[in-house]
Amino acid sequence: MSNNQPAKRRRLSDESVPRLREAELRKIQDLPVWEARKAVLEGICSNQVYVIVGETGSGKTTQIPKFLHQSRFGKSKIICTQPRRVAAIANATRVAKEMGCKLGGLVGYAVRFDDTSTHETKIRYVTDGLLLREAVADPLLQQYKVIIVDEAHERTLDTDALLGLLKRMQRLRKDEFHIVLMSATLDAGKYASFFPGAEIGLVQGRQHKVDVMYTKQAQESYLDAALTTVLQIHSKEAAGDILAFLTGQEEIDALCNLVKTRGAQTKGAHGQEKLQAVAIYAALPAEQQAQVFHPAPPGSRKVIFATNIAETALTIPGVRYVVDTGVVKQRSYQTGAGVDLLAVVPISKAQARQRSGRAGREAPGKTFRLYTEAEFEKLESSTTPEILRVNLAAAVLQLKALGISDIRAFDFVDQPPLPALVFVNGRTEQQKQAATQAKQRFRRPQGDHLTALAVLRAFLATGKGKRGEWCVQNCISGRAMQRCHRIFQQLCTLLQAMKLPLERLGDTQDPEPLQRALVCGLFLHAACRQSDGTFKVIGTGQEVSIHPSSVLSGSKPECIVFNELVFTRRNYARTVCNIQMSWLIELVPTYFTKHIPR
Ligand code: ADP
Ligand code: MG
């Protein structure tokens, strides 16, 4: 197998992995899956698709591949997918230790640019994206007897694409093979019904009691609140490490640094003098990630600042306290910008529970939710699968590479929506008419951006309690509106930080500054009208028409900029703004003096 890993970086597999001590090995056998070992093996062997549901920490990821290897699948290859690189690496390393082998021996991992597996490897932990790419060369994944899709509840785009692929494989492959889906939540019924004949097996968790604390008031800054709470836990609470969920690298690094300075001045309770901060997020190099698993030095307490990768995929021993900021950075499309955007959004109730659960793995624990109980009640019950919220371009290309030409007919657990609109289109003729009328009410002659802004303005002008009703009346998706609102607030904060005046933002009496700003951002997507009514993209010469969903469809602007091109029967420009051609040369002279024919 290939290994494109740059030679300079030290590979984890180069280290000899010391086998665990006897006492630790015995502890493993206390994990809940060991009690269910026989049932799990029977379930997998007697069903082509078997869904295993068990709480985080019950031993699914590390133990079940091992059980299979030690049963009649000893000679076969077993593959176990993880939604993230970190998880593939950490779990393979752990299992290699448990089995007393080197990484790349019996147990290995493969993630993009780093493949430790060899011909000896029988248990292989990989990212789901990697398995998808392997399927390009081997569409039926013939080399594997057992394919385990772990963390199926996370519903990443790659997992969902993989599930569709496995279903196709189930139809086409004639030899004996088994698909195992593992999940930490009970959404499992959904996958079970997706695969004909699938059975579900439950592994009882062993969760200790976790006290959940809420803040009395909403917090202005979750970062300030997180730091204060961590320091308070350190100075007041009994021994035990702290796991704090933040949204990304910058925040995590900043808080680690603050703890280094402020933590040194905070005296710990119960003789734990020092507070040691460690970080874990996806972009951190593997060696540094491995640090979170090391116990804190004697006499100190560890605080782990993590993204949601520590929510389910990774087990960090020693944690008794969880600090939950209630937010996560999530990739989403549909933001009005036409591009994938990583935005900080509230977590779902299911995520909040997963986070809390991390405090009660080994002993009773406490969770500090940095939001009010009322705020918790307002959270969505579960997270929207990625496939329903992101730009599918990359996934579609990948499926095409797998020979699946008609993506619309491809079987997904949740069918992705046709291009989602900020307006709900409606199914019946009557609903469609109502939606068209609603759109007309907000229509701005400058185009879709200003129309969307007018919608947002009207939404914000409506009293908080009446916004739901307002959305229904105007055929507007309430969820999308809430997300727009959050992004709007985020952008306002950015503008304030840059000391730009906010009063004129969205002044529909004077839309020109906004139109000009759009020209600066979207100049690569500027197009001029031709005599036949179509448009020509100035830089590339590509011919496009205004998408029928645009408020400018049917009107005849001279010159436009647009967010994105969509290809259906013809090239369409979507999310369009009407502009003056003279602005192009005025605002982006270096580009347009070359391109505009005079
Ligand atoms: P699940 O997949 O059900 O969430 P895992 O198999 O990941 O459970 O983990 C089971 C248990 O194994 C954990 O609760 C922990 O005690 C132990 N464990 C897993 N990974 C590690 C690790 N890297 N270091 C120490 N203990 C670990
Ligand atoms: Mg797991």
Q: Distance from the CA of 82 to the center of ligand 1, in angstroms?
A: 14
Other beta carbons less than 10 A from residue 409's beta carbon = 7
pLDDT of residue 413: 66
419 phi/psi in degrees, rounded to 5: -35, 115
Ligand 1 atom showing the smallest separation from residue 27 Cα: 16
Query: Could you give the maximum distance between any two Cα atoms of the chain, in Å?
Result: 81
Q: Distance from the CA of 240 to the center of ligand 1, in angstroms?
A: 17
Name the residue with the closest Cα to ligand 1, atom 5.
59
Residues with CB in 5 Å of ion ligand 2? 60-61
Name the residue with the closest Cα to ligand 1, atom 7.
61
Distance in angstroms (rounded) separating the CA atoms of residues 91 and 444: 54
Other beta carbons less than 10 A from residue 517's beta carbon = 14
Q: Distance from the CA of 49 to the center of ligand 1, in angstroms?
A: 24
Ligand 1 lined by 326 (C-beta under 6 Å)? no
Name the residue with the closest Cα to ligand 1, atom 13.
57
| pLDDT value at 279 more than 60 | yes
Tell me the pLDDT tens digit for each residue of 137-176. 788 999 999 999 998 887 777 888 888 889 988 888 989 9
Ligand 1 lined by 315 (C-beta under 6 Å)? yes
Distance in angstroms (rounded) separating the CA atoms of residues 232 and 253: 20
Above 0.95 for ipTM, yes or no?
yes
Q: Distance from the CA of 308 to the center of ligand 2, in angstroms?
A: 14
Q: Which residue has the higher pLDDT, 424 or 162?
A: 162
pLDDT of residue 240: 92
Ligand 1 atom showing the smallest separation from residue 54 Cα: 3
Ligand nearest to the CA of 56: 1
Distance in angstroms (rounded) separating the CA atoms of residues 476 and 472: 6
Other beta carbons less than 10 A from residue 68's beta carbon = 25
3-state secondary structure of 94: helix
> 421 pLDDT band (50/70/90 cuts)?
very low
Distance in angstroms (rounded) separating the CA atoms of residues 167 and 196: 9
54 phi/psi in degrees, rounded to 5: -160, 145
Distance in angstroms (rounded) separating the CA atoms of residues 435 and 454: 16
Distance in angstroms (rounded) separating the CA atoms of residues 375 and 431: 33
Ligand 1 lined by 31 (C-beta under 6 Å)? yes
Q: Distance from the CA of 516 to the center of ligand 1, in angstroms?
A: 54
Distance in angstroms (rounded) separating the CA atoms of residues 457 and 467: 12
Tell me the pLDDT tens digit for each residue of 426-468. 456 677 777 778 888 888 899 998 898 888 888 989 998 999 8
Name the residue with the closest Cα to ligand 1, atom 6.
59
Ligand 1 lined by 153 (C-beta under 6 Å)? no
Ligand 1 lined by 367 (C-beta under 6 Å)? no
Q: Are 182 and 149 in contact (CB under 8 A)?
A: yes
DSSP state of 464: G
Q: Report, as an integer, the average pLDDT of 198-207.
A: 84
DSSP assignments along 336-359, one per residue: SSSS-EEEEEE--HHHHHHHHHGG
Pocket test for ligand 1, best of 62, 125, 208 (most atoms within 8 A of CB): 62
Q: Sort strands 365-369 and 210-214 into parallel, antiparallel or unpaired.
A: parallel
Ligand 1 lined by 62 (C-beta under 6 Å)? yes
Ligand 1 lined by 94 (C-beta under 6 Å)? yes
pTM of the model: 0.62
Which range, 49-53, 168-172, 387-391, has the best average confidence (pLDDT)?
Answer: 49-53
Tell me the pLDDT tens digit for each residue of 334-367. 433 344 556 788 999 989 998 998 998 888 999 9
Ligand 1 lined by 295 (C-beta under 6 Å)? no
Q: Distance from the CA of 313 to the center of ligand 1, in angstroms?
A: 9
| pLDDT value at 9 more than 70 | no
